[in-house]
Amino acid sequence: MKLLDGKNVIITGASRGIGRGIAEVFARQGANIAFTYLSSDAQAKVLEDQLTLNGCKAKGYKSDASDFDAAQQLAKDVIRDFGSIDVLVNNAGVTKDGLLMRMSEDDFDSVMSINMKSVFNMTKAVLRPMLKARAGSIINMSSVVGVKGNAGQANYSSSKAAINGFTKSTALELGSRNIRCNSIAPGFIETEMTESLAEETVKEWREQIPLKRGGTAEDIANTTLFLASDLSAYITGQVINVCGGMLT
């Protein structure tokens, strides 16, 4: 039996990178996948087709998680199309890096809105069906910089630290209804976004990691799979660092 057989999952921001990796791993483990995207309809269709090769149901929704009303509508659409929501993975996020001296108010506000408020919006949106079912797993994608901070990322670090606080508070509120909420804090993960970095920069970062390599989308996806499955039935309110030992 697969770990997520018959479970219906929402993954925000799944058209590429870590989100796509999570969708692929979940589909192989029997989950039905509802995922959100903002840009390419064609790319979303390719992912739908790829996921359904595993025998699961998959559907992409063009939806902005940072928009409260859009998040509410998405939850309604997923209930209509899938029947239930068993797992929510809040993965959508952006960076707009820069030193605080030069950071604009818009750069701060937009990162907080997309990274943090989307987690609030989507969690609110799935609460009613999860409360009714008295079951659910909510997994929020944070970052090691939300734990330790990082120069040039005051906005991003703040948004991820806020996600960790939200996760712990939500876990306390919902635990009695058998709804779990955890965060994952990835370290340096090598995806399409890091391919534009200079090779020397990447080498320097790898050398600072005890495991001497960057992480992969699958590393994060496997941890997310654990938290989505019944293997983690007694784990809630935790921030799990998946960083190769960057934080010790």
Burial call 50-80: b when 16+ CB within 10 Å, e when fewer: ebeebebebbbbebbbbebebbbebbeebbe
Distance CA 140, CA 89 (A): 6
For the chain, what's the residue count? Answer: 248
Q: How far is CA 131 from CA 10, 39, 164, 175, in A?
A: 16, 32, 22, 10
Distance CA 209, CA 214 (A): 8
Query: Count of CB atoms within 10 A of residue 124's CB?
Result: 13
Give how far the C-alpha of residue 174 lies from the chain's centroid of Cα atoms, to the nearest Å: 19
Distance CA 36, CA 242 (A): 24
37 an active-site residue?
no
Residue of 37, 61, 156, 234 with catalytic role: 156
Which token pair is 83?
């029947």
For 14-74, give the DSSP string.
-SSHHHHHHHHHHHHTT-EEEEEESS-HHHHHHHHHHHHTTTS-EEEEE--TTSHHHHHHH
Amino acid present at 25: V
Residues that are catalytic: 156
